[in-house]
């Protein structure tokens, strides 16, 4: 395990990941639980935000209270499955801006193809959290990180719920400057680039498509 990779061990995160792995987990439950996992992951990922003392007044008296030190945040989902994590993270940081990177994977070559990229104008001044429920081959994640860097982002974190060892290795090797967070690192990829045991296609399960 590389130093820039963190795997969550919180029992609530692990429990909820097990729920969405079940093939009988329906679209509504899957979508809800993905959001809940994203909320808990955001709580852990952002624990290093700096605070500063600000004067406030309680019903009893004035005091110096810790508040987040004005760091701007951008959440950037990789379309389309990454959208399933956005609302859960926004529930923790509702002031965050949201960008989008559209990627799809060529089913024959497994190479990522970009079709859309829209980011906040001040992306270079923001902590950027790129999210995708699945980190499989790592190709799409690598491409998305490159796109965001090309737009000027200097502080980037990447979060996935389920990851394959191959994807974690590729992303951490190509981008040692970013921190990678995973809910689970599974066994391996199959011949079609799907994670085993995994949970199937996250995008299809979030949006009820096939």
Q: Transcribe 132-143 into DSSP letters.
A: -SEESSSHHHHH
Question: CB of 165 within 8 A of CB of 188?
Answer: yes
Please choose, from the candidates 77, 3, 92, 83, the residue with its C-alpha nearest in 3D space to the C-alpha of residue 41: 92
Peptide bond into 146 cis (omega under 30): no
The two tokens of residue 2 are 């590389």
Alpha-carbon distance of 165 to 163, in angstroms, equals: 7
> Which of 21, 39, 87, 204 does the annotation list as catalytic?
204
Q: Is 187 assigned a catalytic role?
A: no
Q: Is 201 a catalytic residue?
A: yes
What is the Cβ-side half-sphere exposure of residue 70, based on CA atoms within 13 angstroms? 4
| Cα separation, 165 vs 88, whole angstroms | 25
Q: Give me the residues paired with residue 97 across strands.
A: 74
> Catalytic residue among 47, 58, 109, 191, which?
109
Q: Answer for the pair 88, 37: CB distance below 8 angstroms, yes or no.
A: yes
Task: Check 105, 142, 187, 205 and give the catalytic one.
Answer: 105
Q: Active-site positions?
A: 105, 109, 201, 204
């Amino acid at each position: 395990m590389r130093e820039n990779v963190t795997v969550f061990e919180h029992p609530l995160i692990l429990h909820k990941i097990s729920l969405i792995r079940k093939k009988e987990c329906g679209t509504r439950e899957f979508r809800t639980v993905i959001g809940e996992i994203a909320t808990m992951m955001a709580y852990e990922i952002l624990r290093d935000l700096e605070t500063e003392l600000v004067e406030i007044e309680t019903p009893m008296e004035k005091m110096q209270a810790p508040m987040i030190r004005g760091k701007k945040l951008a959440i950037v989902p990789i379309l389309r499955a990454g959208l399933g994590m956005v609302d859960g993270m926004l529930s923790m940081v509702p002031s965050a801006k949201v960008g989008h990177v559209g990627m799809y994977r060529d089913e024959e070559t497994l190479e990522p193809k970009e079709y859309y990229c829209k980011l906040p104008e001040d992306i270079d001044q923001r902590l950027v959290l790129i999210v995708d429920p699945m980190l499989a081959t790592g190709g799409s994640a690598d491409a998305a990180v490159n796109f965001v860097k090309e737009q000027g982002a200097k502080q980037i974190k990447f979060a996935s719920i389920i990851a394959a060892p191959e994807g974690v290795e590729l992303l951490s090797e190509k981008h040692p400057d970013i921190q990678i967070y995973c809910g689970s690192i599974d066994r391996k990829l199959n011949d079609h680039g799907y994670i085993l045991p995994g949970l199937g296609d996250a995008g299809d399960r979030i949006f009820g498509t096939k």
